[in-house]
Amino acid sequence: MNRFVFEILPIVFIAIVLVILIFRWKRRRLYELANKIPGQNGLPFIGHLHRLLNPDMKNYCKVIFELCDKNFPLSKGWIGPKFTVLTQDPDTIHAIYNSPHCMNKPTILYNALYTKQGLLSVNGAMYDKHRKIFNRSFKPSILQKLVPVFNQKSLKCMEMLKEQLNKSEFNMYSYTGACSLEAFGTGQLNFEKNFYESDVLNAFEGMKPLMMKKMFRIWLNIEPLYKISRLYKDLQKEYNVLVHFKNQVLKKNLEENLEEKDEIFVKQLMDKKNELSDEEIIDEVVIFLIAGYETSALTLSTILLMLAMHKDIQKKVTDEVDQFFEAEDGMIGSENLQNFPYMELVIKETMRLFTAGGIIARETSEEVNLSGYTVPKGTVLAICAHQMHRNPRFWGSDANEFKPERFNSENIKHINPHAYAPFSGGRRICIGYRYAMMFIKIFLIHFFKNYNVSTSLKFEELEVEMTPTLNIAQGYKIQIQKRS
């Protein structure tokens, strides 16, 4: 037996060496180009992957931001065998967003989102098909008709918040999350549900850390390995809650005449159900639910936290609300939203400092020239919008301070127009950015008509974590007081 092992070991060793040599030979063009791009290679074979296996969600940001900051305008790294180029340069990011060769999302990462057939993950012709179907649901004429829903759900949230009056600090995200889900459910899914007492929001939140674990455990892209993992069972448990909710939505809408529902999301889904697979329908409902509520809920919670920390700015917002919001029925019309210019500065400044989509990944489908370097085909491009939005070379020495006035007409003209991209850009720009801005404004107007806000958290102590969106690690702890 020992003799057999002794004889077979050299053969195994030679076989492994041959596999490695063949693997590297086939990728010689990639290595040739990668060696010309500045940055760190990390450890042999695994690159920087070992640093991303720590499940602390603040660690993900720390590692990615550190790699991005190493070199400018491009910096390289490796996620296992996957070559990665990171950038925070506005002009490079603009070029990526508008290049036909940088449209794809890297499946090695986006498979972790559990919506492989949804708009956020699909590529090529399938992306174009899905985008064309759902663009209609977010056009201005449809959004105008959703304004009463935004008012209704915001007013309900104001009532729900009364239970927190003059009490200790609470997590505002639980309220903005439920409100945002209800607004999307009623407005775009034609489905009424009380999300303040629902397991759907908990399932979304429960999936976040699990998806992050799966994202950087790249060996779980091998389906048989993934299916026998504990992570699969945990994710499946949360995902089944969303599938059950999806089934309720579709059942209700299949039984109802949607002819008078214009072109809302669920009507587009029903009209095109013969063109979409069951998996595509499931994934689109789930991904639009997540995208439809999370960005709005995170941004609203962060705005309220920022204003709780900056009382002088909060006073300007409440003065503007008092001046321009006097509707007797308590409802805000879409035509009135333009009357709150300072509030818009606050929203933009918040999204600059705390961009929900602060790290976005693309993948090159061909070799592409970026900032004078030829980037290989199949490269993961890490777009570090969070770093770009806080970089003093673009935003000045006060880049890490909360100053809404930097977005007024006089100041913003001195800023590179590509240096602000909270909703991504190009053909894959966030489909619901107008929806989010309208809902956020309406909610804030109702909030500051009713409440003042304070917090014990300190701005300079805030940290971000990747969940896969960027959240404030300390949470959104605030106190509210009734305005007199």
pLDDT in tens, 291-325: 778 889 999 999 999 999 999 999 999 999 999 88
Q: What is the dihedral of CA 304, 309, 312, 316, to 10 degrees?
A: -10
What was the pLDDT predicted at 2? 64
Closest by CA to 184, choosing from 266, 271, 302, is 266
Q: Check whether 328 has a pLDDT greater than 80.
A: no
Q: Is 430 annotated as a binding residue?
A: yes
Q: Check whether 105 has a pLDDT greater than 80.
A: yes
Lowest mean pLDDT across 85-89, 249-253, 405-409: 249-253
Q: Check whether 281 has a pLDDT greater than 90.
A: no
pTM of the model: 0.93
Write out pLDDT tens, residues 52-83: 887 788 888 999 999 999 999 999 999 988 99
Is residue 419 very low, low, confident or very high in pLDDT (cuts 50, 70, 90)? very high
Catalogue the E-assigned strands of 169-239: 170-171
Q: Check whether 6 has a pLDDT greater than 80.
A: no
Q: Check whether 340 has a pLDDT greater than 90.
A: yes
Closest by CA to 382, choosing from 131, 164, 39, 88, is 88
Q: Check whether 379 has a pLDDT greater than 90.
A: yes
What was the pLDDT predicted at 313? 98
Residue of higher predicted confidence among 304 and 109: 304
Who contacts 329 (Cβ-Cβ below 8 Å, separation ≥6)? none
Section 454-476 average pLDDT: 94
What was the pLDDT predicted at 375? 98
Is residue 14 very low, low, confident or very high in pLDDT (cuts 50, 70, 90)? confident
What was the pLDDT predicted at 260? 65
Burial class of residue 347, CB neighbours in 10 A (0-12, 13-18, 19+): buried
Closest by CA to 299, choosing from 449, 459, 423, is 423
Write out pLDDT tens, residues 129-144: 889 888 988 999 999 9
Who contacts 312 (Cβ-Cβ below 8 Å, separation ≥6)? none
Closest by CA to 317, choosing from 296, 342, 300, is 342
